[in-house]
Structure 1
Amino acid sequence: MSGFFLPVLLLFPLVASVPSPSRVPPRYCRRCCDHLDPPLSPSSRPVTYQTPEVRTFINMTILKGDKGDRGERGTPGKAGAEGPPGSRGTMGPKGSKGQAGVPGDPCKKHQSAFSVGRRKALHSVDYYQALLFDTVFVNMDEHFNMFKGKFHCYVPGIYFFNVNIHTWNFKETYLHVMHNEREQVILYAQPSDRSIMQSQSVMLRLELADEVWVRLYKRERENAVYSDDVDVYITFSGYLVAPVE
């Protein structure tokens, strides 16, 4: 037992004589301008306060300036697709009466009319014969030539013509309303023991210098129209319905 404690007793002075390891002194960062005194301990440092961040807010409505000048018009874009038609709007108020227009050209007239008659009976002696007239009811600006029995067109347009005749007993009545040298409509009555009134009407489009007249046509039978010196049985009339430029 004494042999065990002896080595322990011998090592105890050695353990007691070993110095304790030294602590490394703390290091602090310094600037060249810092004081040479060692920094204060954390407990002795003064308390610092962080400055709050200040952000500037600008109310743009207060700083809004005056409206600038209008810029130049840009290049127009392509036309878009056509939309559906809108509904019809309400009728607007009636406008005021306008001023009178300038006088028209006195040389340019848009009126033409005639009405002529025949008091004498007529028997056709040729195959083609113009029906002449001896009585004037209306003949504006002498557009109807009484010597030729023809209407001469001075105002191009649409015209209405009408011819009335009285047939002769037991004689044929065969007439054409002519446009220049072309037959347009016929007025025909077969021989009969009763004379009757016959009528034919037509509308024609006439150009300048066209002529309209009534022509008798003789075939194997005698062609005749009746009239006397007292009453007018035969009439030929026409007038302009609408001018055409």
Structure 2
Amino acid sequence: RGGAPGSPGHNGLPGRDGKDGKDGQKGEKGEQGEQGPKGDNGEIGSRGTEGPRGFPGTPGMKGEKGEGAYIYRSAFSVGLAGRAPHPNVPIRFSKIFYNEQSHYDATTGKFHCSIPGMYYFAYHLTVYLSDVKVSLYKKDKAVLFTYDQFQKNNVDQASGSVLLHLNAGEEVWLQVYGEGENNGVYADNINDSTFMGFLLYPDLD
């Protein structure tokens, strides 16, 4: 017959590691962690494509009123008060229609240029009692001549006009030339003999 059971033996040495088990199921999403420190600036990227044109901006505030351009003025219009004086001297037109800038001198009969530029001059003369020969002078030189032969028992007209460039200080006037019998320029209360001129445009250089 068998004997009585023996006492339990001591634990054996640990065995070798077993093979890795299969992956377990995916766990639940964890809570968001704290924000980490700011990283370094990255390198500048390449230039992007040009965007579409923006909408027009709102109108700006109205600017202050500027100074107006300076207007150059020079003009005169005069008439004869009676018979013309002796020939070969300036005719003194003493009836003043317009001479606001005082560029015409009624005591000498001469227009004095104060503004260099291009000027227009004209005269319209009543011819009576004798022939008329007149010249328009610029700076002691006749530049325009007009002759009208008087018709007996009739009142006639003589006229002329010209464009002249004048420098500052130059003068323009009208005078009878020739002998005394050519001095038929006339004016009375119903007939006028007039002389006029004005600046067309100044020299801006």
TM-score (norm 2): 0.64
CA contact (8 A) 1:123 1:224 kept: no
Identity %: 28
Higher strand share: 2
Query: Residue 167 of structure 1 aligns to a residue in which SS?
Result: strand
Residue aligning to 2:45: 67
The one-letter amino acid paired with 2:107 is F
Cα RMSD over matched residues?
Answer: 2.8
Structure 2: which 5+ runs fail to align? 1-42, 48-59
Task: Output aligned runs, 1:1-245, within 5 Å.
Answer: 66-67=44-45, 99-102=64-67, 110-122=72-84, 124=86, 126=87, 128-169=88-129, 171-193=130-152, 194-219=154-179, 221-228=181-188, 230-245=189-204
Query: Residue 142 of structure 2 aligns to a residue in which SS?
Result: strand
CA contact (8 A) 1:123 1:225 kept: no
Aligned partners of 1:144 and 1:135: how far apart in 2?
A: 12
Query: Residue 110 of structure 1 aligns to a residue in which SS?
Result: coil
Change in CA separation of 1:145 and 1:186 when aligned onto 2, cut-off 3 Å: same
Higher helix share: 1
Query: Residue 130 of structure 1 aligns to a residue in which SS?
Result: coil
- Compare relative contact order (CA 8 Å, sep 6+) and give the higher one, 1 or 2: 2
Query: Residue 164 of structure 1 aligns to a residue in which SS?
Result: strand
CA shift for structure 1 position 118 = 1.0
CA contact (8 A) 2:79 2:97 kept: yes
Stretches of 4+ moved more than 6 A in 1? none
Q: Between Structure 1 and Structure 2, whose CA radius of gyration is higher?
A: 1
Structure 1: which 5+ runs fail to align? 1-64, 70-95
TM-score (norm 1): 0.54
Change in CA separation of 1:220 and 1:226 when aligned onto 2, cut-off 3 Å: closer
